[in-house]
Amino acid sequence: MRVLGAIFVMLSASLALACDDVRVRGSGDLVSKDYEFEDFTKVELTNTFRADIRHSDAFSVSIEVDDNILELVEVTQDGDTLRLQLESGTGVTSATLQATITMPEIVSLDMSGAS
């Protein structure tokens, strides 16, 4: 019985570590970064990203985040989908995650995974 208890504790600890988010508190010092993406018609925002999406003939993507969080931000394009998220397993508190996006047409907007 003790062996089963020890295995359960070890398994629980392993799962907790695997699911445990790294929490980062925003510094309050904001920085901006521009990205070069085009030909996307879908936008996916995860975590607590806020976005200002506007119609334009040109594509543009920029973010404004706390300086200590910038390296944790992932902005990618997969086919016609633009994705903005934090590295997997990362959570933030008291942080700014703001995106400004311009695009000619939006077909889909997915916002999920608030942390």
For 14-60, the DSSP string reads HHHHHHPPEEEE--S-EEEEEE---S--EEEEETT-EEEEEE-SS-E
Q: What is the pLDDT of residue 62?
A: 98
Name the pTM for this structure: 0.78
pLDDT, residue 47, reads 77
Radius of gyration of the chain (CA): 18
pLDDT of residue 114: 53
* Phi, psi torsion values for 27, nearest 5 degrees: -80, -25
Q: What is the pLDDT of residue 67?
A: 97
Residues of the chain scoring pLDDT < 70: 1-20, 113-115
For 22-112, which CATH class?
mainly beta
Contacts of 50 (CB under 8 A, 6+ apart): 97, 98, 99
Residues in the chain, total: 115
What pLDDT is stored for residue 4 in this prediction? 43
